[in-house]
């Protein structure tokens, strides 16, 4: 039996909530949520008598985001022990760039509580739609922006890149202050090891409401600092490929269109 639903609310307001998420919210005795969408609370209150906003409890200025996440996870598990089932509803997809659901899963496993994961529309979906990029044509690489610096992650310049959490780069503490231009210097220097001078990149903020447009800021990599004040926590950075990888195995390319080869690799 499910004691905890980990449910995604989508990106573009409640219009992106799936029917299965809505059914779970209705079935829950309490919905605890982390989402700053304009209509989220009003919407949740129509489905469930007890709705708890965890945002203010989770994100405190100057405090580690991780300690806030632990607090949120404990609140969800306590509610599930007291009056199951409960739903933990989060912005986007519940398991994408989100720590608290993983903490909930770990605690629930130790306590023998059943967990059901209900996916939501993620920023991956909306950002790719805003850019009109098919992630399968040249592949896709995705990293968390600070993690790129920590591990000096190599980037593959022929593969489109999505870099998450570009706004809060270089800190694990919560802050609502805008960035100074220099905040991005180390990140730019790292990317310059893989991408040519003047490479045009885009910062994307998908619409948080169906009536608003997506925000797409395009600029040469080196000029990122001049957009520091605009790059809030909701932006994802997109780095397009700098070149197209050439086909190396020409025989494999010819085999793709050979009927004889198809017969050889399939059973009749």
Ligand X SMILES: C[S@@+](CC[C@H](N)C(=O)[O-])C[C@H]1O[C@@H](n2cnc3c(N)ncnc32)[C@H](O)[C@@H]1O
Tell me the closest approach of the beta carbon of residue 179 to ligand X, in angstroms. Answer: 13
For ligand X, the closer CB: 88 or 205: 205
Contact 216, 240 (CB under 8 A): no
Q: With the CA atoms of 58, 60, 63 and 66 taken in that order, what torsion angle do they form, in degrees rounded to the nearest 10?
A: 10
**Cβ 255 to ligand X shortest distance, Å:** 38
Q: Which is nearer to ligand X, 90 or 191 (CB)?
A: 90
For the beta carbon of residue 153, count every other beta carbon within 10 angstroms. 14
Closest to 94 (Cα-Cα) out of 21, 200, 185, 157: 21
Least separation in angstroms between residue 207's CB and ligand X is 7
Q: How far is the CB of 215 from ligand X (least distance, A)?
A: 8
Report the residue number, 2 or 122, with the smaller CB distance to ligand X.
122
Applying CB under 6 A, the residues found at the interface with ligand X are 11, 90-93, 96-98, 122-123, 127, 164-165, 167, 204-206, 208, 233-236
CA dist., res. 138 & res. 116, Å (int)? 33
Non-local CB neighbours of 73 within 8 Å, separated by 6+ positions: 100, 101, 103, 104, 107
What three-state secondary structure class fits 41?
helix
User: Which residue, 188 or 214, has its beta carbon nearer to ligand X?
Assistant: 214
Q: Which is nearer to ligand X, 11 or 32 (CB)?
A: 11
**Token pair of 24 as six digits:** 């779970």
Residue nearest to ligand X as judged by C-beta position: 92
Query: Shortest gap between Cβ of 35 and ligand X (angstroms)?
Result: 9
DSSP 225: G
Q: Which is nearer to ligand X, 85 or 92 (CB)?
A: 92
Instruction: Determine contact, residues 102/21, Cβ cutoff 8 Å.
Output: no
d(CA 257, CA 244): 22
For the CB of residue 94, give the shortest distance to ligand X in the complex, in Å: 7
């Amino acid at each position: 039996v499910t004691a905890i639903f980990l449910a995604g609310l989508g990106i573009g307001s409640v219009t992106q909530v799936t029917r299965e998420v809505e059914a779970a919210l209705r079935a829950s005795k309490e919905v605890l949520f982390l989402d700053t969408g304009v209509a989220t609370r009003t919407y949740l209150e129509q489905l469930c008598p007890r709705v708890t906003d965890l945002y203010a409890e989770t994100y405190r200025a100057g405090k580690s985001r991780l300690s806030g996440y632990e607090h949120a996870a404990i609140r969800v598990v306590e509610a599930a022990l007291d009056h199951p089932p409960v739903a933990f509803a989060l912005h986007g997809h519940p398991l994408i760039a989100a720590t608290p659901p993983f903490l909930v899963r770990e605690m629930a496993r130790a306590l023998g509580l059943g967990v059901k994961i209900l996916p939501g529309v993620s920023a991956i979906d909306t950002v790719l739609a805003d850019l009109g990029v098919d992630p399968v044509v040249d592949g896709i690489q995705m990293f968390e922006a600070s993690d790129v610096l920590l591990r000096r992650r190599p980037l593959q310049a022929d593969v489109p890149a999505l870099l998450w959490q570009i706004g809060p780069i270089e800190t694990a503490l919560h802050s609502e202050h805008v960035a100074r231009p220099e905040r991005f210097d180390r990140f730019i220097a790292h990317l310059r090891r893989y991408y040519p001078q003047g490479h045009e990149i885009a910062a994307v903020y998908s619409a948080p409401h169906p009536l608003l447009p997506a925000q797409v800021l395009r600029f040469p990599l080196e000029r990122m600092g001049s957009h520091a004040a605009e790059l809030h926590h909701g932006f994802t950075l997109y780095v397009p490929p700098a070149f197209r990888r050439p086909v190396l195995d020409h025989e494999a390319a010819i085999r793709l269109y050979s009927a004889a080869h198809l017969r050889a690799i399939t059973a009749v």
